[in-house]
Amino acid sequence: MNIGNTMFTRTFKPVDFVDIDCRCHKSLQNSFSPFKANVFRMQCGDKNTVVKDYSHANFFIRATICRLLIKREISALRKLQGIQGVPKLYGFYGKYGFAMQTIEGFHPDMAFFSDNPPIAKQLERLVEHFHKQGMTHNDLRLNNMIVDKHGCLFIIDYAATFNNSHKFNFLGKILSSILQITDQAKVIRVLQQSPSFKLTKSQQNILKKAKRLHILTDLWKSIRKKKTQKAKLVM
């Protein structure tokens, strides 16, 4: 089995993986899509890790899209290390995979947040923290949240993260503020589950803006759909 580090050696020093006991290998997500990672649990020494691996994709997709996805996810995790609610990054798994801390817990649903408003607040603080660091998560689905046994909320799956840490990247700043709105709108929808929640004026504005953005993205999707249908007809 190929375990090592090749791609990010200069920017990130990985931990040494000891030999892997394959009996501990438990698949969490076996993906046939080339753009989605295979995700599995692995015991590496004394560490309980989750490995996200794209090596099943074909050479071209691996070298382009998967490389980009891993690079983006690793640099986001590196930047956010040490923040409560972000899994620890452990190291690399071959050329197209990496290992992180396993969060033992469950994916919450909306009803869970309505019974546990403090955990919805944790989500709000965590996302605020990301935004302060110039990062947007962009994929705040319930499947990308895990509540552990101590009642701490973790956000996982940083493959869609946008990082705008450059001071003078004005285009990036505009994009980042748009993406922040969609992140914030998702947090507000979670906060709204709490029976005592009252929507403030600024939160109302965020929801309105997010709705407008949603209309734009729907329009864009339908234009693209029509184009591909036309292309199929021509073929």
**Residues forming the site for ligand ADP (CB under 6 A):** 28-29, 36-37, 39, 50, 52, 87, 100-103, 143-144, 146, 156-157, 159
Distance in Å, CB of 41 to Mg ion, minimum: 16
Measured from the CB atom, the residue of 146 and 188 that comes closer to ligand ADP is: 146
Binding mask 90-129 for Mg ion (x = CB under 5 A): ----------------------------------------
Instruction: Tell the smallest beta-carbon distance from residue 49 to Mg ion (Å).
Output: 17
* Smallest separation, CB 146 to ligand ADP (Å): 6
Cα–chain center distance at 169: 23
CA 133, CA 129: separation in Å to the nearest integer? 6
Q: 129 CB contacts (<8 Å, ≥6 apart)?
A: 80, 83
For 65-79, give one letter per residue: b (16+ CB within 10 A) or e: ebbebbebbbbbbeb
The stretch among 4-12, 103-111, 154-162, 201-209 that binds Mg ion (CB under 5 A) is 154-162
Q: Which is nearer to Mg ion, 116 or 144 (CB)?
A: 144
> Is 14 in contact with 92 (CB distance < 8 Å)?
yes
- Let me know the angle formed at the C-alpha of 134 by 129 and 140, rounded to the nearest 5 degrees: 60
- Chain-centroid distance, C-alpha 77: 9
Asked if residue 157 binds Mg ion (CB under 5 A), the reply is yes
**Nearer Cβ to Mg ion, position 73 or 157?**
157
The entry of ligand ADP, Mg ion, none that residue 37 binds, CB within 5 to 8 Å by partner kind: ligand ADP
- Helices assigned H by DSSP within 49-169: 59-61, 67-80, 110-115, 117-132
Q: Rounded to an integer, what distance in angstroms lies between the CA atom of residue 136 and that of residue 172? A: 11
Choose from Mg ion, ligand ADP, none: what does 116 bind? Cβ within 5-8 Å by kind: none
Minimum CB–partner distance for residue 136 and ligand ADP (Å): 16
Given candidates 43, 48, 116, 144, which one binds Mg ion under the rule CB under 5 A?
144
Query: Considering the complex, what minimum distance in angstroms separates the CB of residue 231 from ligand ADP?
Result: 28
Look at the block and give the residue holding tokens 């990301």.
130
Rank residues 66 and 100 by Cβ distance to ligand ADP and give the closer one. Answer: 100
**Nearest C-alpha neighbor of 104 from the set 67, 38, 152:** 152
What distance in Å separates the CA atoms of residue 202 and residue 124, rounded to the nearest whole number? 14
91 binds, among Mg ion, ligand ADP, none (CB under 5 to 8 A by kind): none
Task: Pick the closer one to ligand ADP by CB: 153 or 159.
Answer: 159
Footprint of Mg ion (CB under 5 A):
144, 157
